[in-house]
Amino acid sequence: MVESDPNAWSLEDTLRVLIASDIHLGHLENDAIRGEDSFIAFEEVLSLAVQYDVDLVLLGGDLFDQAKPTPSCMFKCTEIIRKYCFGDKPVGVELLSDQLENFARVVNYEDPNLNVSYPILSIHGNHDDPVGQGSISSLDILSITGLVNYFGKWTDYTHVRISPVLLQKGSTRLALYGLSHLKDQRLSRLFAEKKVEMERPDETLDWFNLLVLHQNRADRGPGNYISEEVLPKFLDLVVWGHEHDCHLYGMKGNKRENDSFSVIQPGSTVATSLAAGEALPKHCGLLQIHKGDYSVKPLPLQTVRPFIFKTIVISEENLGDEGVNENEKIQEFLKERVNQAIEEASKMRSGHEKQPELPLIRLSVFYERESQDFNRMRFGQNFNGLVANPNDLLVMKREKKVREKKERAPDEEADMTGVAAAAADVESLLRSYYEAQPRDKRLSVLSVRIVTEAVREFTLKHNDEALRRAFDAHKRRCIAALMDSTAETEEEIVERLRTCKQELDAADDDQLHTLVDTSVRPAAPAAQLIVPVVKLSAPLAKRTIVVVLGATRGSHNSPGVWRTTPVNNLLFGAKDNAFIFFIKNTCFH
């Protein structure tokens, strides 16, 4: 019988792995107060690897906060890794699988030009995934320099076939599967279509099967998360990155007894949003594997900035009757609650010399009437020097906002305050914004899907070309749709463009990228760019689209000049066998 007590396991046969995820190096690095938080926490994680003398460090994605980290961020990351992971201590883990297939280079601790004592293995997350020319990730840079062993990178999004990293220490064999971040909708469909395969090693040998992935675990709508039910049952343990709330408990297990895998969710090491889940205590974990048995020991992080999150419902507080001083009364009440939170945060201090002093405080306040609202920024100035986030201490939300949204007249302007506070991500915020607009202010030509995808690429990955590429691709799609149609009148043109928009909004991820190619390429030869609008001396020989960008005034009805009609933000024109549309006040040019 295999021993289940880790203290009885022989060191020669026990594989020790330090597990962490969502480090987000560089988060708010320009903030004078919080700029060093991510680096301090990362340094503590690697110092724990040294303290517990692990065999390797396993990261679950989002090592960096941006796809293109700043030189300063990359320098600090390199400095920390070299300080804690390089040295003369031999690594007692043997790599059995094809190194070039797993890592695209020799694993760093077997490189004769490097002295690595604590090797880091990492997948990428949604914040540090490959972008730009050549699809290079920040982890590719760390990999080629020998600082990190980067695995689980995919280029074929139609079929995922995962070849495990095979490691052995003594009589313990580990099959490590890495699944770097993919769009949740795409990956969930690939699982449904049985297009995600995990190669099994020699099944005559006893392997411990470990999967690390970076996806939504919480249910965020159909197809927008990965269910544990779709993961193969032969797995023994799953390390789940991306979710920032830490759910890491001490556990022992042996799959051969209960025939099901367990999930480790390390959470983030730094608070990247002032949400309730981020206020949970931060940890990394010590995973010990001995043949078919394993144990997980949570390691609390001592250098994390204290964070207190409170929810307050004004109507449930005994603040007296309504009156002319109601606003001031509420502010005084909230000041008292902030001071209580500061006192509570002071008790969370670990005593570590590198733990930041000023706490993070967030009060989520629900109010009933507009008269109860006030200037949050001015309120926060009362706590300068007392909290790390005086400018966003409060988030104010209206009670019963759902009922009010239903009762709102169709043409009434939407109040986006509550929607913005409740949005889980930038895509949800944009979709909610466009859905909440009156009908006459909704997008009629530009696809909401295109906009949200482009903004996501820009905000999360800091891809400066994302917006331009997306809008250029959408323009090419519109032109192609008009060229293929028989539309002649203004109504026919508007209807064709509306149909084109509906097709794009209804498409899934793969169909969207097929319909709208955002790769860099010259514009279609059928389109001519003319700025400003000029008189055309001769009729065009065939159906042609002329696109004029920029602001346009007036209409042109004189002979030989294009006749245009305004439709929303577009001016459409038709003459003989050609179309023209002017896009006003856009960022295409």
Write down the pTM of the prediction.
Answer: 0.73
* Active-site residue identified among 127, 214, 244, 283: 127
pLDDT value of position 302? 97
CATH (one of 3.30.110.110, 3.90.25.10, 3.40.228.10, 3.40.50.970) for 307-440: 3.30.110.110
State the SS3 of 29-75.
CCCCCCCCHHHHHHHHHHHHHHHCCCCEEEECCCCECCCCCCHHHHH
Which CA distances in Å does 432 have to 131, 251, 417, 435?
Answer: 27, 41, 11, 5
Task: Give the per-residue pLDDT at 462.
Answer: 63
Which CATH architecture fits 6-300? Answer: 4-Layer Sandwich (3.60)
- Rounded CA separation 333/340 (Å): 11
Whole-number pLDDT of residue 467: 75
Work out the number of other CB atoms within 10 angstroms of the CB of residue 420.
14
Q: Is 127 a catalytic residue?
A: yes
Domain extent listing, the chain: 6-300, 307-440, 460-583
In tens digits, what is the pLDDT along the chain, a chain of 589 residues?
Answer: 344 688 889 999 999 999 999 999 999 999 999 999 999 999 999 999 999 999 999 999 999 999 899 999 999 999 999 999 999 999 999 999 999 899 988 999 999 999 999 999 999 999 998 887 778 889 999 999 999 999 999 888 889 999 999 999 999 999 999 999 999 989 999 999 999 999 999 888 899 999 999 999 998 888 889 999 999 999 999 999 999 999 998 888 876 555 679 999 999 999 999 999 999 999 999 999 999 899 999 999 999 999 999 999 998 888 866 666 788 899 999 999 999 999 999 999 999 999 999 999 999 999 988 888 899 999 999 999 999 999 999 999 988 754 455 455 555 555 555 555 555 566 667 777 777 777 667 777 777 777 777 777 776 666 667 777 777 777 877 887 777 777 777 777 877 777 777 777 766 665 666 666 655 444 444 444 444 444 444 444 444 444 444 433 344 444 444 444 444 444 444 444 444 444 444 443 3
The edge-to-edge listing of strands for the beta sheet with 120-122 is 149-150, 120-122, 56-59, 14-20, 283-290, 293-300, 251-254
Asked, colleague to colleague, whether 6-300 and 307-440 share their fold, the answer is no
